[in-house]
Amino acid sequence: MPPPRPAESRSDAELVRVNRGFYESLWAAAKLIGPERFNTWPLLRGLAAAAPRRLEVAPGLRPRLPLDGTCFVDLSHAALRRLHASGARAVHGMIGALPCADASFDLICALDILEHVADDDSALAELARVARPGAHVLLSVPLHPEAWTAFDDFVGHCRRYEPARIVAKLALHGFTIEHSAVYGMQPKSSRLLDLGQWYLIHRRERAMWWYNRVFMPLSLCFQKPLQWHEGLDHAQDVDEVLLRCRYRPAAQPSH
């Protein structure tokens, strides 16, 4: 098992290339799946209804917030075209330089993003910039560097987080974790993972067809219900977590 590659070892340009190469192919052959189809919907529906100004960063074609009334920012032109065709407001951009005004949003969703960027502090600073004080911010991250696999590297991950590290890093930017939920699990079969990766490398078009037409629909049918837990104390054996944070900026010093 290769060790995790530190963020400093991968430039933003390299990460953009890796992520664009993987996800642009994925979204070019995929259909948009509405947020109500995902097991995140029961947890996010009430938050979305109570937030008049919403942002979702890099949803691809798997948005978790309502299409109506949410601003979507994504790097993939294929995803943006399909979001536009569904009536969504979607603009091109990256988490490190969001095309949004300061203090614009009451609810921000950025799932499976932080592990993909070299400078996660800059990404969190951008989320803090566009969040209103008191805003809810939803993030998901993979945990435990020792759980690293070749697939993490293949899909463009920079890192996995130790639970204490992500708590401290979020706090530095004004985010407090209020609740978390077990969000994803590493496949138990390394052989199956290796087979899937081989097909993605050597038979990309065929692998994407099977994923979009067979495996993704099946996975939607077998999703497990998610449940909020207070804080992040339950994450010792968890592969990935969904975090519900509250943004409370530090008070500015008076002059």
Residue 205, pLDDT above cutoff 70: no
The domain spans of the chain are: 7-247
* Interval 169-185 mean pLDDT: 92
Give the mean pLDDT of the chain: 84
Q: CA–CA distance from 19 to each of 24, 116, 117, 189, 237 (Å)?
A: 8, 8, 10, 24, 27
Supply the pTM of this predicted model.
0.84
Q: Which CATH number fits domain 7-247: 3.30.70.890, 3.40.50.150, 3.40.50.300, 3.30.1490.190?
A: 3.40.50.150
Q: Tens digits of per-residue pLDDT, 101-153?
A: 999 999 999 999 999 888 999 999 999 999 999 999 999 999 999 988 877 87
**Number of Cβ within a 10 Å radius of residue 230:** 10
Radius of gyration of the chain (CA): 18
DSSP 3-state of 7: helix
